[in-house]
């Protein structure tokens, strides 16, 4: 059963989102006033490809895995939506159906705004149009960057860039060494390989190579970034 309100930690994650922080206090208030909470267990389907859009959604806890399945049955993971990030607005604007599946990755809490309420907020706050345009522009820049990397960088460099992104979004300082950062998003090597469009074997080889260079440490519970500067040098070496 859904909890009716966000926890303090979940509310902080929403309020600290970079895009949400850029909105005026009155707009943030109106969004939060009509939003409702949904909670999902690890692996739960949130929305399915082909469904009509009904909600605009912000991630308050956990992560949302956005993926699709190819005609051959291969699972393709496009991204993990992190706490503080909103999604689902594109389908509202073009009126089309959902283009991808979305699953909860770990226990996940979402803050949702119904389509009718979203339209009312848009009518009351012209500011939201401009803010969403900025959000779309950022997404397009990121997408172009990913396409460029896929076509120009070897797997080693792309993996290093992905690990740097994950540590920025999900990094937690290690208690034993404050300079080391544990990636809080639990990703199996198969899931990391799907994100990079590579085989698990090749990703495993590159991870072991980075571990030998002491850039990262592979642990049973996930990955620890030991040397971000070295990962940056690996990411930039092939440019």
Q: Quickly state the pLDDT bin for 69 (edges 50, 70, 90).
A: confident
Question: Of 4 and 11, which is predicted with more confidence?
Answer: 11
Residue 4 has pLDDT above 50, yes or no: yes
Q: What is the pLDDT of residue 72?
A: 78
Helices (H), the chain: 8-15, 18-21, 25-34, 89-94, 115-124, 126-152, 155-170, 189-196, 200-212, 228-237
Q: Are 193 and 200 in contact (CB under 8 A)?
A: yes
The mean pLDDT of 139-161, rounded to a whole number, is: 91
Residue 239 has pLDDT above 60, yes or no: no
Q: What is the pLDDT of residue 75?
A: 79
Helices (H), 125-199: 126-152, 155-170, 189-196
* Entry pTM: 0.86
């Amino acid at each position: 059963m859904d909890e009716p309100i966000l926890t303090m930690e979940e509310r902080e994650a929403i309020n600290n989102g970079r895009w949400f922080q850029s909105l005026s206090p009155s707009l943030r208030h109106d969004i939060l006033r009509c939003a409702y909470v949904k909670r999902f267990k690890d692996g739960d389907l949130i929305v399915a490809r082909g469904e009509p859009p009904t909600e605009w959604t912000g991630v308050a806890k956990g992560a949302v895995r956005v993926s699709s399945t190819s005609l051959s049955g291969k699972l393709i993971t496009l991204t993990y939506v992190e706490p503080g990030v909103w999604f689902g607005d594109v389908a509202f604007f073009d009126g089309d159906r959902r283009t991808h599946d979305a699953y909860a990755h770990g226990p996940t809490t979402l803050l949702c705004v119904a389509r009718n309420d979203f339209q009312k907020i848009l009518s009351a706050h012209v500011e939201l149009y401009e803010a969403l345009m900025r959000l779309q522009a950022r997404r397009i820049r990121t997408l172009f960057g990913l396409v460029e990397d896929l076509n120009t960088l070897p797997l080693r460099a792309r993996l290093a860039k992905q690990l740097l992104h994950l540590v920025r979004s999900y990094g937690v300082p290690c208690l034993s060494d404050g300079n080391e950062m544990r990636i809080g998003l639990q990703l199996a090597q198969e899931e990391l390989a799907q994100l990079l469009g590579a085989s698990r074997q090749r990703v495993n080889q590159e991870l072991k190579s980075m571990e030998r260079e002491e850039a990262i440490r592979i642990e049973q519970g996930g990955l620890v970034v030991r040397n971000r500067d070295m990962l940056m040098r690996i990411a930039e070496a092939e440019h």
